[in-house]
A = this chain, B = another copy of it.
């Protein structure tokens, strides 16, 4: 692989996506992409006795599906890269430990799917791995009580708030699959001082703008060179701010941009306010929807740009702003 421009990696022998698994909950099943998930669960406890254990189970299911589709056993996977939103990433630990695959915990908040995919790609292209798994998850109920309010409280949500997806997505990276990972960029942390935890889209938009702008500069490409530029998850508010940030740089993203947080749900009908969010949102949209479209030839060349808000309730309570980060991965159907 080589570095092009300031920050972009280009893979000379591009690793590919061998298989993918996407699982979701009841609300995700009822959304516009519901039929594209490999598996959805009407009972979002997944028969577990805590929301955290249910979320761990989502990761386990997604990995199991990806492995089954590829016909690969866990003993033939060299690394698993995983992370989630829960404190100390316990969904990943408890969901994945039974696979007994060398484990590299990642933390990128809702950018985790792009980060794990980028790292898995680097490991495969470098020869460190023949096959590597990238996986992440979120669960509405575990996220609400950890980051916001107990569910029982029934707090009212503000119009800028996003709905944490109950979902997990998993990708198996190796050689010989139908979709190549051609380029990637790891983002820098951006903090423009947004402090409203009910407006994560605004907090993350500057990071998305910065990483997408840098990627386009480095690769001497323009938005119209791609069939789609998919952010995840800026929602409605963040997407509009992203357009403004890009306009300032003379780039119009509107014709090719879509946001995973706006694809996963029917915003009006499903009452999700500004859209979806959570690691599982962009992971589910990538693994359930985008990769299927690429395999069917409906999308050929896309940028997957997952965004994360690197905050905690503690940093919030201590008056700090919400820094964002965005990692970019270019996917090309062969």
Q: Is A32 an interface residue when CB atoms closer than 8 A count as contact?
A: no
Given contacts A87-B312, A310-B90, A311-B90, contact A101 B3 (CB under 8 A): no
Distance between Cα atoms of A185 and B186 in the complex (Å):
24
For A108-152 the 0/1 string (1 means CB < 8 A from B) is: 110000010001001101111110000000000000001000000
Residue of B nearest to A2 (CB): B127
> Which of B52, B106, B107, B189 is in CB contact (< 8 Å) with A88?
B107
> Which of B88, B128, B325 is in CB contact (< 8 Å) with A126?
B128
* Interface residue range, chain A: 35 or more
> Which of B7, B88, B102, B109 is in CB contact (< 8 Å) with A312?
B88
B188 to A100, Cβ gap below 8 A?
yes
The interface-forming segment of A58-66, A78-86, A231-239, A249-257 is A78-86
A189 to B106, Cβ gap below 8 A?
no
Nearest-Cβ distance from residue A310 to partner chain B, whole angstroms: 4
**Which chain B residues lie closer than 8 Å to A46 at the CB level?**
none
**Which chain B residues lie closer than 8 Å to A186 at the CB level?**
79, 102-104
Given contacts A88-B311, A128-B126, A310-B88, contact A104 B97 (CB under 8 A): no
Residue of B nearest to A96 (CB): B189
Nearest-Cβ distance from residue A324 to partner chain B, whole angstroms: 10
**Which chain B residues lie closer than 8 Å to A31 at the CB level?**
none
Nearest-Cβ distance from residue A69 to partner chain B, whole angstroms: 23
Nearest-Cβ distance from residue A195 to partner chain B, whole angstroms: 14
Q: Which of A87, A101, A187 has the most CB of B within 10 A?
A: A87
Give chain A interface residues in 1-38, CB to chain B under 8 Å: 1-3, 7, 9
Q: Is A318 an interface residue when CB atoms closer than 8 A count as contact?
A: yes
Q: Is A94 an interface residue when CB atoms closer than 8 A count as contact?
A: yes
Nearest-Cβ distance from residue A134 to partner chain B, whole angstroms: 13
B109 to A108, Cβ gap below 8 A?
no
**Which chain B residues lie closer than 8 Å to A314 at the CB level?**
52, 86-87, 90, 146
Give chain A interface residues in 137-176, CB to chain B under 8 Å: 146
Question: Which residue numbers of A lie inside 8 Å of B, CB to CB?
Answer: 1-3, 7, 9, 49-50, 52-53, 78-79, 83, 85-90, 93-94, 96-97, 100-109, 115, 119, 122-123, 125-130, 146, 185-189, 191, 310-315, 318, 320, 323, 325
